[in-house]
Structure 1
Amino acid sequence: MKKNELFQALNHSRERLLRAIEGLDATHLTQPGAVGIWSVKDVLAHLAMWEAQTVTLLYQVRQGMKPTTLHLKTFDTDQQNAQWYEQAKDRPWEQVWADFQGVRVQTLRRLDAFNEDELSSPTRFPWLGMSLADLVYKWVVQHEEDHAADLETWRQRLEG
């Protein structure tokens, strides 16, 4: 995947997610049940935490380090998500929203520090098992797209 394609995919997934929640009032944004027991706020906190892991990975790779993030570890996804949910569930909407927006700024800034070959070569960082761009696509873009689809379905039920 080329650098500009990755940036376009990041923008597209974010726009889709924002459209899914556009115009919702504070009650709907914090109401449990949007995705399982999670509210929209919880989904955004979840996405921000996973994207923050990716920002850390990008930082570590840029520093020439083998990443220590969850991307390269064996872990129980449900358990990790439950742990992060417990950590963030009582945070105010404004703080979650600021983190959600802020982590994307960091992602774009970190990605911009890599050249085309560093991002798109599947062998440049062999311990990733894929190109850096593909990793970001999988862990950030696809993840955001999946939850955007969940929120679109929930919103259709809500407006039903």
Structure 2
Amino acid sequence: MTTQSLLDELVEARDDFYAALDEQDPARLEHPGLVGEWSARELVAHLGYWAGRVVDVMLAVEEGRAEQAYEGQPPTDEVNATVARVARDTRLATVQKREAASVEALVERLRRIDPGMLQATLPSGATLEALVREDGPEHYRRHAEELRRPEGAGS
């Protein structure tokens, strides 16, 4: 896969996520239960955090310190809970700006990275490309699907 096709996939998946979010009743966006226990604020903040985390890992790989990028990293559920807790006290527009900045940083990093670096193996055993895909386009797609599920609107 080329870097450009990965970028295109990210942009397309993110656009689709926001289309799915726009399909929701605006009155429901601010309340828990949009997806699981999360409102739109928590969901968008969650996506933004993980997009930003990918940028951190990419930089670490480029600098030859991939191991350090994972040192002291709390468990995923703990990170998600912290991100959600902070997002609850933040306006949706602010959360969306932060998410957009994270994605913009990811797009810029993808444009500048040596394509060969995407095949670097991370401490988890996955490639950097797999991480970009998992926390980028696949992540946005998964949450867009949740938003479109009839039970996703109320669960």
Is TM > 0.5 for Structure 1 vs Structure 2? yes
User: Share of identical aligned residues, percent?
Assistant: 25
Partner of residue 99, structure 1: 98
- C-alpha RMSD of matched pairs (Å): 2.5
CA contact (8 A) 1:42 1:88 kept: yes
- Give the Å deviation of 1:75: 5.0
Within 5 Å, which residues of 2 pair with 1:24-103?
Answer: 27-69=27-69, 75-103=74-102
CA–CA distance in structure 1, aligned partners of residues 82 and 146 of structure 2: 21
CA–CA distance in structure 2, aligned partners of residues 146 and 116 of structure 1: 26
CA–CA distance in structure 1, aligned partners of residues 94 and 148 of structure 2: 23
Partner of residue 145, structure 1: 141
> How has the CA–CA distance of structure 1 residues 57 and 74 changed in structure 2, closer, same or farther, with 3 Å as cutoff?
closer
CA–CA distance in structure 1, aligned partners of residues 91 and 150 of structure 2: 22
> How has the CA–CA distance of structure 1 residues 20 and 50 changed in structure 2, closer, same or farther, with 3 Å as cutoff?
same
CA–CA distance in structure 1, aligned partners of residues 110 and 153 of structure 2: 37
Q: Which runs of 5+ in 2 are unaligned?
A: none
Partner of residue 19, structure 2: 19
> How has the CA–CA distance of structure 1 residues 134 and 94 changed in structure 2, closer, same or farther, with 3 Å as cutoff?
same
Q: Which runs of 5+ in 1 are unaligned?
A: none
CA–CA distance in structure 1, aligned partners of residues 22 and 140 of structure 2: 15
CA–CA distance in structure 2, aligned partners of residues 127 and 110 of structure 1: 20
- Give the Å deviation of 1:106: 0.2
**TM-score in terms of structure 2 length:** 0.84
Cα deviations by residue, 1:94-146 (Å, 9 ceiling, x for unpaired): 21010111111000111112122222x3xx34545233222100122211111
Aligned length: 154
**TM-score in terms of structure 1 length:** 0.81
Partner of residue 129, structure 1: 125
- Give the Å deviation of 1:39: 0.7
My pick for the range that moved more, 58-67 or 74-83, is 74-83
Code of the aligned partner of 2:63: Q
Cα deviations by residue, 1:44-98 (Å, 9 ceiling, x for unpaired): 011111111111111222223225445x777543232112211221111121010
